[in-house]
A = this chain, B = another copy of it.
């Protein structure tokens, strides 16, 4: 059965530095692997071209670090409960950084490998396809 994922969710965004490491690996790679192992639906890693912030080691060499340590933003959309359960481990892994949460409504979540016959289950909420019966209709009606 496909994974239902519509409705109110939370967008968690993690701001760290590209050079941050955890157990010898880039922290952002470790976090992506961690999210995948924990069964999250997805994660997106964006790399900035400039910036400053909590991920910079000190204030004095910040100008130097700007060119060496580009900002990384990792984004995850999940239920609040799923994200809350990750926080103790994130707290241990993130040495310097910022983590924010925002409300986000999921209007479409459709895995690439869903079959044609199940595609309507992943249709945007409220939409009814023109060429197929309403998959949400009460079969007893």
Question: Chain A interface (Cβ within 8 Å of chain B)?
Answer: 5, 9, 11, 13, 15, 17, 28-29, 32, 35-36, 41-59, 62, 71, 73, 75, 77, 87-88, 90-91, 94-114, 123-124, 126-127
User: How many chain copies does the complex carry?
Assistant: 3
| CB-based contact B99/A102 at 8 Å | no
| CB-based contact B96/A111 at 8 Å | yes
A selection of 26 A-B contacts at a CB cut-off of 8 Å is: A11-B102, A32-B50, A42-B52, A42-B53, A42-B98, A43-B51, A43-B52, A44-B48, A44-B71, A46-B73, A54-B111, A57-B112, A57-B113, A87-B107, A87-B127, A88-B127, A90-B108, A90-B124, A91-B108, A94-B110, A96-B114, A98-B109, A99-B108, A101-B105, A102-B102, A102-B103
| CB-based contact B105/A104 at 8 Å | no
Most B CB contacts (10 A, CB to CB) among A49, A106, A123 go to A49
